[in-house]
Chains A and B, each alone.
Chain A
Amino acid sequence: MIDVHAYAGILTREAIMFRRLWVSTTFASIVEPTIYLLAFGLGLGALISNINGYSYIEFVGTGSVATAVLFSSVFTGMFTTYVRRVYQKTYDGLLSTPVDVSEIMTAEGLWIAAKAGVYGCAPLLVAMCFGLPPSWGMLAVPFIGFLTGLGFGFFGQWLSGLVPSIDSFNYVTSALITPLFLVAGTFFPLTQLPQWAQTIAQINPLYHCVELVRHAVFGWEGWADVWNVAVLIMFVIIARYLSIRRLRKRLIG
């Protein structure tokens, strides 16, 4: 049974914190992907006429949504969860009230996902200013961002429970997060990569997010999109399970 008090309490905390810190949080989550979009879209776009039938700004504008979602969710899941657990001892406090680890992680994951859904739209709006034609399908983008952000939020939480120190996130970022967003079809089509890389991309949730966003903007592709959604849902379920299991081990002695 869902404990409304527990979720309301955690989400109230997130909302109050966000009201205080929204400028810095939003700046980091939106500006970086937008810079990528402008640099690649306008810079490289001048040299490339089209990719798979899209102009480069259309291609990279839709791809950057996934980058914004990834950055705003996985890094929040990693760093915020780590800092709250190790330095601020926030979870020790929360766990002395009638909430448990699964409620804390799920509620925080939902909050991360909600932000990711909103932040993911920023590159799309910028791309529209540079020629991306608006479409009704774009209304689905916040939901795609939410679902992907939920998975990566939980994934970040899980990583925060694995690392021995906050410095270890350097390895995680370089060896895991960066390849994830490069092998997702964000800035160039996967067909340019060797077959093995294309195979790996199929299990990369971000690739499925990119596919869904492109199809939402330029036209849905039926069962292919059902599969993309199914992969993201599986990712959410697995990442949540891993996150709760790991953090329960860390927080309950």
Chain B
Amino acid sequence: MTETPALRLQGVVKRFGALTAVDHLDLEVPEGVCLGLLGPNGAGKSTTMKMLTGQAIADEGTIEVLGFPVPAKSKQARGLMGVVPQADNLDEELTCAENLLIWATLQPIARKQRPQAVADALALAALTDRAHSKVGTLSGGMKRRLLIARGLVHNPRVVLLDEPTVGLDPQVRADIWVIIDRLRNEGVTVLMSTHYIEEAERLADDIAIMSHGRIIARGAPQQLLDTHVGTHALEFYGPPERLTEVEAIAEGMPTRRTGPSVSILRAESIPEAMHERLGAGTKRVANLEDVFVLLTGEVLE
């Protein structure tokens, strides 16, 4: 028996005039998996998120959330989904508790259970002592935590996080990661778009690399490394002529040029003779950025 995936997109296309934002996208996310959707700005990540909530309508293809076809049954799907948008759209004049209460009322939560749901969400965001503070008085990190708690107030089965830590300082980012980790441990399905390599590597069970509206690679972080770039890279710095020379010597090996450096990927399999011709380079551990740049030719933050 095939288990219904939490999220399923098949042949999804979304165009905005002449621009194809999402181009024949096929994506499945099984229940309980945290999938990182990794890609640069404009890759189609946010549009994909919006199509999953029915806030953008696909021109072609089919979308299902927990078995509900979207947009036809998007209301039912949204009742089981928590959405954390990229932009802060909290009500600044209201308190943290009031913001959460409104969301609890919008979701299918029984009236008697709403105060507890609000209290739980405040605790999750570590904002219990700021329950009655106006949102306008909170720091950026607190607002972000509240925004996430708002999306989780009804204990959703699926959570969509659109760039959850964009623009935040490292400490706040770490706080947010703790919340996302907790969701993973509780078996919640998470689809998280990000353009931070470290975030995807640290949090996602599975990573889908998105470029120009398509998924170009998919797998667990280690699996992506093994498949595309191996364990190590050999990095060379120098003027453009030197980098060109290195690329010529390493012909046949996967290489990646970024600014003043060129990296030869799969360094562990460079033949000894090629090593001698290349000269001294800096050996480093391969990372997902290598995978991304190799596959897309684009650079991530």
- Name A residues whose Cβ lies closer than 8 Å to a Cβ of B: 3, 5-6, 8-10, 12-13, 16-17, 20-21, 88-90, 92-100, 251-253
Contacts and interface: CB of A to CB of B under 8 A. Distances in A.
Interface of B: 14, 16, 47, 50, 53-57, 75-76, 78-79, 81, 83, 85, 87, 89, 91, 93-94, 98, 101-103, 105-108, 151, 160
Contact of B106 (A20, A94, A252, A253): A94
Contacts of B83: 96-97
**Chain A binding site: helix, strand, loop or mixed by DSSP?**
helix
Given A97-B107, A98-B78, A251 B55 contact: yes
B101 A93 contact: no
A169 B204 CA distance: 47
B55 A92 contact: yes
Contacts of A12: 101-102, 105
Nearest to A100: B75
A90 B85 CA distance: 11
B102 A92 contact: no
Contacts of A13: 91, 102, 105
Given A9-B102, A17-B94, A253-B56, A98 B89 contact: no
Contact of A16 (B56, B75, B101, B106): B101
B152 to A, nearest CB: 12
A87 to B, nearest CB: 10
B89 to A, nearest CB: 4
Nearest to B108: A5
Contacts, number: 82
Nearest to B160: A96
Given A251-B55, A252-B55, A5 B50 contact: no
B87 A89 contact: yes
A10 B107 CA distance: 11
A9 B106 contact: yes
Given A5-B108, A17-B94, A97 B103 contact: yes
A16 B50 contact: no
A93 B105 contact: no
A10 B91 CA distance: 13
Given A88-B91, A92-B87, A98-B78, 9 more contacts: A3-B75, A5-B107, A12-B105, A13-B91, A95-B53, A95-B54, A96-B151, A98-B107, A253-B57
A253 B94 contact: no
A92 B84 CA distance: 11
A128 to B, nearest CB: 35
A61 B78 CA distance: 49
A253 B15 CA distance: 10
B101 A253 contact: no
